[in-house]
Every structure is written in structure tokens, then in C-alpha cells.
Amino acid sequence: MYKAKKTKYRSLAALLGLTACLVLVSTAYAGNEDSEDLAVDEVEGGLSVMVLGSGGPIATAAGRASASYLIFVDGVAKILMDAGGGAYKSLAMSGVDIKDLDIILLSHLHIDHTGDMSAIVKSMYFHNRVNNMTGDGSFPPGRTAPFRVFGPAANGVPFPPVLPADPATAQYPASSEYVHGHYDLNTGLERYLNIFTRAISGGIFNYTAKDVSPNWTMYKPEVIYPEGDYQEGDLVIKAVGVNHGPVPALAFRIEYKGKSIVYSGDTSSRSTLMDGTPLAGGGNMVSISENADLLIYDTALYPDLPPNDSFNIFYALHTTPSRIGEVANAAGVKKLLLSHITPQTENSIPQVKELIRAQGYTGKIKTAKDLKVINLMDRDHK
């Protein structure tokens, strides 16, 4: 009898501990809104981007999180582009409320672009809990709307013979397989979220996942959101396949009220097919970047040629400074944001900019840093 009561008391203590923990989370979050000098306070206008991660896959003393960008529509955080490691901490430091986060865009499935996705998704439901609290301390059902994930379809590229993989096994799954592998109610590795979000009164866990063709030999960007017809000034998201070696990869374009943001993801920005045949219009990065107000570009390389053979793989996957300049100039981009900064470029940005300018690009060039905010308005604030 004594043991049974002890177990009961321990269960009650655990429940009270969980409740106290949730109250502390709610209080801490609410208090953060009153803090000064938060990045979220810099957001204004119809379309804005906040850099959550401006680095690459290497942890360095520069302290950059891996690739991630938060898009605000009329001041509300609506779109997350990639979620590399460290993006969660940047999000926490920013003071942003992501209860209304609607869309996650995955440029490709490398860990430095996806590693913090689940942490951010879980935080989204905690933010809904905080915003869902009533005056008497009770909680209505919370968020029911799904978050939507878009990413590249599989391209079927197998592993090289040096590895003992089944020949039918592709190096990369489709994005939908990746997302379902995390969240599916019956088979997902993080399937507990389906009940956890209800348990904390954050809402009903719900998502969709859509694959987009990563075929980089196709020239025309595809509208992936919204489905069906749209009017001028509506929020529109376009995607196009880009070359990232064997990796299925996409570049994205976000348009709203006459303003546009383009994100290259990681890409070599090829202008020719493998046999040297020129791609239409100078390549897909040119087509999707046409007249963009802001182009966020993969800036992993310096100089234009690999210093030795050990760098060849990186030059097959990423864009040289001169090619960045060619694309920005040909597309008529208004502002260029250099991001995905690596140890190769961290201390070489002035030289990278010189090579970009040498291709005739005369627009503005900025260097990304974590928590930097760029507002796209009629008057250029940032």
C-alpha cells in the first residue's frame, strides 16, 4: 500500500512539474516580448527577410548558424526557408512569434539546411499555446491549420560503386519521404508530436508535404503556391531546379505586393548542360532571379578557381564569385545578399565583391549576418 501511494504521489509530482514547466515557458516567452533591441523590432513593411543562419556546414569561431531565413508578410512570420543547425537559437534570440508560420521551403536535404526544422516546428506549437491562453488560464483547442513543407523530389542518383549500397538506393529521398519520416503518425521518428501538441494545448499537429521537380535542365520556374489562380499582389512562391552536383536542389522566389526575394539555396549555378550546351537564358538562376529586389546567394567559394584538387568537389557544388556577378547582372537584381559564408569566404568578402563587380553588376551588395533584417519597401531602409 505504501509503495502504491508513493508511486501515485510521484506521478502527481511529475504532473505538477510538467505544469510548472509549461507555465515557466509561457511566462518566459511573454516576458521576452518586452526586451529591448530584438531583431523582430526591425521588421516593417509588406515583405521582409530575417537571416537566422548565414553560415555553412562547418562550426567556426565566427559563430554563424547554418542556412536559414525567415520571411515576414505584412509583419507576420509566414515562411521559413531552410532550417540549418543553430537556426533555432537565432529564432529564440530574435523575439519572433512563429505561431502563424505557414510554409517551410527546403532547398535541399543537406543537414546544414534541415537540422533544426523539428525544433522550430515544436516551438511553433508552444508559441500557439502561449497565444491561446485565455484570461482564466484555460486553453481552447489551439492551432488546427497545417504547416506546409515544399522541397525537391528525388532524382534517383545512386551511390557510387565504392559503397556497398543496393544499386536501387538513391543518395537522397524525396522531400515528402523525408518529412513523413519525421512526422507520420504511425512511422515517423518524431511521431510523438501528434499527441504532444494536444497535450500542451498548442493545437492539433497537422502538416502537408509536396515534392517539386529538381530538374535543373528545365528553364521556367514553377508556381508552387498558391494552388490555382492568383491575383497581382498576392503572395506567390515559385521554385526551379538548380544544379548542386548529385543533390536534388531548388531555388525559390517569393513575390508579394510587387516586391520579390530570391534564394539560391546551394548551387553551382550552371549555365550549360554537362555536354557544354548552353542553357536557355543563361541558366535557371538567371531566370528565377529576373528583376528581383533581393537575391540571397550561396557564397561558399573564393577564388574563382580551386586552389588544389582537394577543393574540386566544392567547386562542383557551389557558385564562384564571378558567376554570382554574371547572374546578378544578367537578371537585373537590385540588391545582392552574400550568405552561406564558409571559412573560405569569411575573410575574403572584399575580394569576392571585387570579382562580382568585375562582371558588370552595379546593384547593392551586402554581407549576411545572423539576425540581420532586410525590409523591402518603396524606400530602402536596410
Domain ranges for the chain, please list them. 45-162+170-376
| Amino acid code (one letter) for 249 | A
Q: Which amino acid is at 375?
A: N
Nearest to 215 by CA among 198, 239, 191, 235: 239
**Given this model, what pLDDT does residue 27 score?**
40
How far apart CA 78 and CA 378 sit, in angstroms, is: 21
pLDDT number for residue 133: 78
Q: Which stretches of the chain score pLDDT less than 50? A: 1-33, 35, 380-382
At residue 137, the pLDDT reads 75
> pLDDT tens for residues 151-193?
999 999 999 999 999 999 999 999 999 999 999 999 999 999 9
Q: What is the pLDDT of residue 378?
A: 67
The pLDDT assigned to 379 comes to 55
For residue range 335-378, what is the model confidence (pLDDT) as tens digits? 999 999 999 999 999 999 999 999 999 999 999 999 999 999 86
Interstrand relation of 76-83 and 68-73 (parallel, antiparallel or unpaired): antiparallel
Q: What integer pLDDT is reported at residue 5 of this predicted model? A: 40
Closest of 377, 378, 298 to residue 42, by C-alpha: 377
Which region holds residue 29: left if phi is over 0, alpha if psi is between -120 and 50, else beta?
alpha
Domain 45-162+170-376 fold: Metallo-beta-lactamase; Chain A (3.60.15)
pLDDT value for 15: 38
What pLDDT score does 261 carry?
98
Q: How far apart are CA 380 and CA 382, in angstroms?
A: 6
pLDDT of residue 198: 95
Report which of 256, 253, 339 is spatially closest to residue 300, judged by C-alpha positions: 339
d(CA 90, CA 282): 36
pTM of the model: 0.91
Predicted pLDDT at 10: 41
Give which of 39, 53, 206, 30 is closest to 127, Cα–Cα.
30
